[in-house]
């Protein structure tokens, strides 16, 4: 931990960014007599992690903004200002991020003693959507309520003809104050909460949480626990990717392939239940280890992965499907890097970001090299197909070879960081313990990084391609709207 004065923060952050670190997490803290801002930086090859801490008076908590050094840092700063009242000075986009315009001014829900939410105040002006003007330009508002079982989000399209000129996504309609539910719990009691942060990522979030607690306590992970944890992560990756491959086919009118894909997913979920007792793999990750009813059936996993690959092959052999996917909603490598994107979205744009290899808790060898990195819907589709096969191979390898060894864990402080490559991308949890119980848990889902990339990719895309583009990103509302 490096404790800095506010004015020292920009230089220290720039030095880390120049060394190849990225801003992975920014967290506000209420320490009673003062506030504190914590900045976590990660770097790969080798795995490096460092923290910068800044103490701030409650009367006027202000920090220099890092937004001009790092786009993700600027979003974390806006979140921290909305929830803790810590003001990022000279921020290029000072408007609210989390707090909607009917939230009362001066109430910061993450501060100690904030109390129950007060009555909504007067609407503090309309949300400043960017106005796009010109002959033939019109707006299409979508949401925040949508058909189906998805959480709310508002999309404002500025369109000429069918072509999207600008899209603004407005989120945080159901900001839940989830991080306030951790403090005061025993570490083991936080697992069920962690695995429900984003329902389709039970293993990813539970494991990131457990790794953070184990880091704080200085616990070492056994070889068997590391092996089982990777297996669980890969099983979660496979069933989510299969579901989305089918949904993408459905979005271009190929409902037969979608039906086939959902059948494969159902078989995977039933296999999950046999392995762990839960279709979504809940309850398997525990502090210090993991618990299975039995090891996965490697032949079944391999067979179902092959079925998924066959579905994808049939899709891409269909000229209509390929034409709709190819060149649609391109996110360039430079855009992906500037925005800080993670997971398969980043890898489909040519960025080799993958916490399984950048921040490993088990040596998995060399990362998979993807065949398409053009940053379009087709690349995001193909990357996920290839990851299904890679994940199935990892499961087979780890079931057959139980003698793998995790790296040693150093003696931990009373805070810890957990880094995991969930199926959407890198998940980071940071925990602090006091008196044997949790005092602060900060959660970062990859969707927080990837939501800003969706509007960028959609520029010059036609409105009918929004559903398939949206599904090719498949961002979590729940993981974002904590």
Print pLDDT tens along the chain (482 aa): 689 999 999 999 999 999 999 999 999 999 999 999 999 999 998 999 999 999 999 999 999 999 999 999 999 999 999 999 999 999 998 888 998 888 888 889 999 888 887 787 777 777 777 778 888 899 999 888 887 778 899 999 999 999 999 999 999 988 888 999 999 999 999 999 999 999 999 999 999 999 999 999 998 888 889 999 999 999 999 999 999 999 999 999 899 999 999 999 999 999 999 999 999 999 999 999 999 999 999 999 999 999 999 999 999 999 999 999 999 999 999 999 999 999 999 999 999 999 999 999 998 988 888 989 999 999 999 999 999 999 999 999 999 875 555 544 444 458 899 999 999 999 999 999 998 899 999 999 999 999 999 999 999 999 999 999 999 999 999 999 99
CATH superfamily of 2-89: NADH:ubiquinone oxidoreductase Nqo5 subunit (3.30.460.80)
Total-model pTM: 0.94
pLDDT for the residue numbered 411: 43
One-character DSSP codes across 162-203: TEEEEEEEE--TT---GGGGSTTS-GGGGHHHHTTSSGGGHH
- In whole angstroms, what is the distance from residue 362 CA to residue 290 CA? 15
State the Cα torsion 256-381-422-242 to the nearest 10°: 20
- Residue 276 tokens read as 């762990």
Q: Who's near 11: CB < 8 A, 6+ residues apart?
A: none
pLDDT for the residue numbered 402: 56
pLDDT for the residue numbered 409: 44
Domain boundaries along the sequence of the chain: 2-89, 178-449
Find the radius of gyration of the CA atoms of the chain.
22
pLDDT for the residue numbered 114: 83
Angle between helices 298-316 and 255-276 (to 10 degrees): 160
- In whole angstroms, what is the distance from residue 271 CA to residue 296 CA? 8
DSSP single-letter state for residue 109: T
pLDDT for the residue numbered 282: 96
Burial of 363 (0-12, 13-18, 19+ CB in 10 A): exposed
Length of the chain: 482
Enter the CATH code of domain 178-449.
1.10.645.10
């Amino acid at each position: 931990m490096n404790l800095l004065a506010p004015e020292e923060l920009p230089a220290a952050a720039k030095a880390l960014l120049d060394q190849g670190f990225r801003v992975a997490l920014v967290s506000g803290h209420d320490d009673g007599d003062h506030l504190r801002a914590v900045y976590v930086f990660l770097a790969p090859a080798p795995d490096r992690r460092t923290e910068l801490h800044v103490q701030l008076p409650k009367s006027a908590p202000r920090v220099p903004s890092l937004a001009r050094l790092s786009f993700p840092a600027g979003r974390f700063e806006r979140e921290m200002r909305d929830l803790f009242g810590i003001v990022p000075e000279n921020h290029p986009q000072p408007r609210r991020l989390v707090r909607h315009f009917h939230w009362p001014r001066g109430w910061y829900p993450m501060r100690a003693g904030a109390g129950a939410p007060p009555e909504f105040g007067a609407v503090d002006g309309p949300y400043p959507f960017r106005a796009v003007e010109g002959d033939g330009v019109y707006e299409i508002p979508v949401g925040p309520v949508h058909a189906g079982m998805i959480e709310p989000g508002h999309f404002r399209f500025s369109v000429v003809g069918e072509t999207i000129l600008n899209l603004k996504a407005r989120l945080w309609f159901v900001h839940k104050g989830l991080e306030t539910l951790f403090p005061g719990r025993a570490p083991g009691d936080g697992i069920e909460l962690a695995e429900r942060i984003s329902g389709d990522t039970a293993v990813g979030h539970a494991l990131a949480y457990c790794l953070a607690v184990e880091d704080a306590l200085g616990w070492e992970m056994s070889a068997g626990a590391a092996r089982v944890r990777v297996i669980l992560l890969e099983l979660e990756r496979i069933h989510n990717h299969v579901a989305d491959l089918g949904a993408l086919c459905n979005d271009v009118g190929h409902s037969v392939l979608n039906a086939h894909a959902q059948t494969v997913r159902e078989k995977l979920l039933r296999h999950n239940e046999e392995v762990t007792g839960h279709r979504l793999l809940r309850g398997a990750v525990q502090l210090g280890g993991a618990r299975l009813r039995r090891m996965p059936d490697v032949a079944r996993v391999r067979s179902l992965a092959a079925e998924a690959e066959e579905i994808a092959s049939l899709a891409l052999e269909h000229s209509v499907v390929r034409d709709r996917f190819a060149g649609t909603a391109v996110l360039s490598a430079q855009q992906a890097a500037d925005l800080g994107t993670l997971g398969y979205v980043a890898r489909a744009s040519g960025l080799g970001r993958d916490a399984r290899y950048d921040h490993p808790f088990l040596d998995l060898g060399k990362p998979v090299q993807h065949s398409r990195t053009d940053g379009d819907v087709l690349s995001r589709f193909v990357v996920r197909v290839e990851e299904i096969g890679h994940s199935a191979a990892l499961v087979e390898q780890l079931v057959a070879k139980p003698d793998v060894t995790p790296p040693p864990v150093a003696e931990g402080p009373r805070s810890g960081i957990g880094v995991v490559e969930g199926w959407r991308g890198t998940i980071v949890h940071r925990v602090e313990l006091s008196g044997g119980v949790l005092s602060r848990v900060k959660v970062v889902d990859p969707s927080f990084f990837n939501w800003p990339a969706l509007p960028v990719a959609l520029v010059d895309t036609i409105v009918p391609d929004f559903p398939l583009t949206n599904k090719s990103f498949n961002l979590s509302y729940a993981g974002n709207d904590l």
